[in-house]
């Protein structure tokens, strides 16, 4: 029987025994795979077990660092968690290139987040509107104890509107609210406020005599679409500054801008282009314990804001100046959540000099821009495979536990040959014979 009841109540050992005996040909081997990743430090293991449910083991991802990022005239060594070879190397390359050209400039354009109480109302809009105006202060005040601490930190509930959505869906309205959440991502804060607003709204509607119908609350939840929580990062230099040779340099700048324009107008390129940006962004999001699903969902929706999915970055040449920038919504936190719970997250934040949420928004946007710069830079010159294949070669050599001497010989060979899994293996076999 591959079905189970009461699974979550079993001990970790019992869960592993049940799973490995039901789903694996060799249960002992499967169980050993899981257990080799258990941490000897029982307390540390317990901490990780408790982040989630039905935890069996730990899943490692490389934690790397990209130094030399000059952002608004300060230097950062940026932590990045990614399994994709060449992402960190590409970020390092871009950081090194731009640090001698004034570095990256970044600016937070807004920090407002929002959430909605979604409800149905079958009566008329004017009567609902009149009711809302009458109770708005009460709705607002009902969140006072929830927002007290946040208000002390400069945040809180900042706007509440009734929105008529009946052209989109029959009888559908929203209580649309804005929030400032200081250095917290604020999901729990926003959701608690919205649930309280919904509760107060429902209670007051039940007692009211002006409404012809009773509103029906469907749900209350933050929106991960945060176009007003926006950051902008930029680099610029002379079109003659890319390479020592003037023609090569200008040609590079021109092709680079064309490549970005292509990603602005066709979805086939835009998705891959933005994926490359998210290679960098997600890596910092993971390292700093932020919610990469929220960041991804929002970034992709933002990329469609004009009605057409488009590039998150833009580039232009004006006179002899090259300019390249990104504008991206990022709802980030540097307090709460995993920040003080996960030791690696605490480490990552300290490495970044314990940034505010605004500073982290700037850092993350810069890494996205840097990543995109490195990718397009390769695409319009050598092609992407050269760098990727170097890392690929390294991974294959690791897989076959190549010795230092084997590595030396093979690296030399592949300086003038194309890397493929088969060709590396052939070469390795040749040496080993």
388 carries an active-site annotation: yes
Question: Considering the rule CB under 6 A, would residue 389 count as an interface residue with ligand MEV?
Answer: no
Exactly one of 152, 275, 408, 417 binds ligand MEV (CB under 6 A); which one? 275
Interacting positions 168-187 with ligand MEV (CB under 6 A)? none
Token reading at 25: 């040909």
291 carries an active-site annotation: yes
Exactly one of 147, 236, 279, 339 binds ligand MEV (CB under 6 A); which one? 279
Interacting positions 65-104 with ligand MEV (CB under 6 A)? 84
- The bridge status of strand 321-329 relative to strand 313-318 is antiparallel
Exactly one of 15, 93, 273, 358 binds ligand MEV (CB under 6 A); which one? 273
- Min. distance of Cβ 323 from ligand MEV in angstroms? 19
Exactly one of 214, 272, 321, 398 binds ligand MEV (CB under 6 A); which one? 272
- Nearest residue (CB) to ligand MEV, 152 versus 275: 275
241 carries an active-site annotation: no
The answer to whether 327 and 229 are in contact (CB under 8 A) is: no
Cα torsion at 243, 79, 327, 304 (round to 10°)? 110
Q: Of 388, 390, 406, 413, which is the active-site residue?
A: 388
241-248 long-range contacts (CB < 8 A, ≥24 apart) are: 241/101, 241/322, 242/322
Question: Considering the rule CB under 6 A, would residue 395 count as an interface residue with ligand MEV?
Answer: no
In which residue are the tokens 């029987």 written? 1
d(CA 273, CA 260): 8
Exactly one of 79, 155, 276, 289 binds ligand MEV (CB under 6 A); which one? 276
In this chain, which residue has its C-beta nearest to ligand MEV? 276
In which residue are the tokens 């580039």 written? 315
Q: Of 35, 275, 408, 430, which is the active-site residue?
A: 275
320 carries an active-site annotation: no
Q: Of 13, 14, 50, 84, which is the active-site residue?
A: 84
Catalytic site residues?
84, 275, 291, 388
User: Where on the chain is the footprint of ligand MEV (CB under 6 A)?
Assistant: 84, 272-273, 275-276, 279, 375, 379, 384
């Amino acid at each position: 029987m591959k079905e189970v009841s009461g699974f979550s109540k079993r001990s970790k050992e019992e869960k592993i025994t049940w799973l490995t005996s039901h789903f694996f040909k060799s249960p002992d081997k499967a169980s050993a795979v899981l257990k080799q990743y258990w941490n000897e430090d029982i307390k540390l293991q317990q901490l990780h077990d408790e982040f989630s449910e039905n935890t069996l083991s730990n899943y490692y991802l490389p934690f790397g660092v990209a130094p030399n990022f000059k952002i608004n005239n300060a230097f950062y060594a940026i932590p990045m968690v990614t399994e994709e070879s060449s992402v960190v190397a590409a970020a390092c390359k871009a950081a090194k290139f731009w640090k001698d050209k004034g570095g990256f400039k970044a600016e937070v354009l807004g920090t407002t987040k929002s959430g909605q109480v979604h409800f149905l109302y079958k009566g008329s809009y004017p009567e609902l509107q009149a009711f809302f105006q009458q109770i708005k202060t009460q709705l607002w005040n009902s969140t006072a104890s929830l927002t007290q601490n946040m208000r002390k930190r400069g945040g809180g509930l900042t706007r509440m509107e009734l929105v008529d959505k009946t052209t989109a869906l029959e009888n559908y309205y929203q209580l649309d609210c804005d929030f400032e959440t200081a250095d917290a991502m604020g999901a729990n804060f926003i959701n608690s406020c919205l649930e309280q607003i919904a509760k107060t709204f429902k209670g007051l509607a039940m007692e009211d005599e002006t409404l012809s119908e009773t509103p029906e609350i469907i749900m209350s939840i933050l929106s991960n679409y945060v176009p007003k929580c926006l950051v902008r990062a930029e680099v610029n230099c002379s079109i003659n500054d890319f390479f020592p040779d003037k023609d090569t340099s200008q040609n590079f700048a021109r092709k680079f801008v064309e490549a970005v324009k292509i990603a602005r107008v066709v979805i086939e390129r835009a998705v891959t282009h933005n994926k490359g940006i998210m290679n960098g962004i997600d890596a910092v999001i993971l390292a700093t314990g932020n919610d990469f699903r929220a960041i991804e969902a929002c970034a992709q929706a933002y990329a469609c804001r004009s009605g057409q999915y488009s590039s998150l970055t833009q580039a232009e040449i004006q006179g002899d100046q090259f300019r390249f920038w990104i504008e991206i919504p990022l709802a980030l936190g540097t307090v709460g959540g995993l920040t003080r719970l996960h030791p690696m997250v605490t480490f990552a934040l300290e490495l970044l000099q314990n940034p505010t949420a605004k500073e982290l928004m700037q850092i993350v946007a810069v890494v996205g821009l840097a990543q995109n710069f490195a990718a397009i830079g390769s695409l319009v010159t050598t092609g992407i495979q050269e760098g990727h294949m170097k890392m690929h070669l390294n991974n294959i050599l690791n897989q076959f536990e190549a010795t230092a001497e084997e590595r030396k010989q093979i690296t030399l060979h592949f300086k003038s040959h194309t890397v493929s899994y088969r060709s590396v293996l052939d070469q390795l076999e040749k040496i080993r014979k």
